[in-house]
Copies of this chain bind each other. A is one copy, B any other.
Amino acid sequence: MTSSDSTKVETRLHVESPLDGGTAVGLDPGRAHFLRSVLRLQPGAVVALFNARDGEWLARIDALGKGWCSLEVLSQRRVPGPEPDLWLAFAPIKRARLDFLVEKATELGVSALHPVMTRRTNVERVNLERLRANAREAAEQCERLSLPEVAEPVKLDALLATWPAERRLLLCCEAGPAPALAEVLAEFRAAGAPARPAPPWGVMCGPEGGFAESELDALRKLPFVYPASLGPRILRADTAALAALACWQAWLGDWTLRPPGRG
């Protein structure tokens, strides 16, 4: 067993069940259908199962039918390891853009997604199950071991009232004075390379109409908030969030690491 081997697998699936050599694992009807009717796999096919607690394991399909599948866990493919602790707090936006944001944020290594209702948020309902399904699919595709947590939507002041003091918050600011993003991140980058593991951070971006003046004022007064400018073009909310997450990962996160088995 190595921490990463390159056995070709048919797909990668996140499962909550404990993973250990020789154990049997069942799948929910949706994933069983996916293996049987979309990928058209047969008993004997090998897939990868993973979760943040147990890492990634090879598993062989024992038997499958309409809406069920049982697998035998074989050997470990990747050991679990630390992942960046980076939250994204975002004002919900329209469905197609939100789907995209969740997918991209997951690929960019976000550990938790916090929908936050601001003054100018004009989306009233957030389909958390849809967000979670998108996040799971993106995690399976991008080869991370964890799923981002998807929190219940809360009002901005409620989120800030319970925000952990030690978690720095990078605030995407399109209005008012704010230092350039690169300056903010450079200040926290250890000389020459990011600290490992990076301390906890969050990124926050407002709704399509931006934060209200009073919201920005309140945010700027909080000791853990670091306003940052994302340049002269007015970015959409989803673009701003993805840009800030990418820059954070490049400068303070885990982008000095390579994909397992591909370096």
| Chain A residues close to B by CB (< 8 Å) | 96, 100, 103-104, 107-109, 141-144, 174-178, 180-182, 185, 194, 229-236, 239, 242-244, 246-247, 249-251, 253-260, 262-263
Contacts and interface: CB of A to CB of B under 8 A. Distances in A.
Contacts of A177: 263
Contacts of A247: 246-247, 250
Given A239-B107, A250-B180, A250-B181, A174 B233 contact: no
Contacts of A260: 232
Given A107-B233, A141-B234, A231-B253, 16 more contacts: A104-B239, A107-B236, A143-B232, A175-B259, A180-B250, A182-B194, A182-B250, A182-B255, A182-B256, A230-B255, A232-B254, A232-B255, A232-B257, A232-B258, A239-B242, A246-B246
A180 B246 contact: no
Among A144, A180, A242, residue most surrounded by chain B Cβ atoms (within 10 Å) = A180
A231 to B, nearest CB: 4
A251 B183 CA distance: 9
Contacts of A234: 107, 141-143, 259, 262
Contacts of A141: 234, 236
A109 B233 contact: yes
Contact of A251 (B174, B182, B256): B182
Contacts of A262: 174-176, 234
Nearest to A243: B246
A236 B242 CA distance: 13
Contacts of A255: 180-182, 229-232
Contacts of A107: 233-236, 239
14 contacts: A104-B242, A107-B233, A107-B235, A143-B233, A144-B233, A174-B259, A180-B250, A180-B255, A185-B250, A229-B258, A231-B255, A231-B256, A232-B258, A232-B259
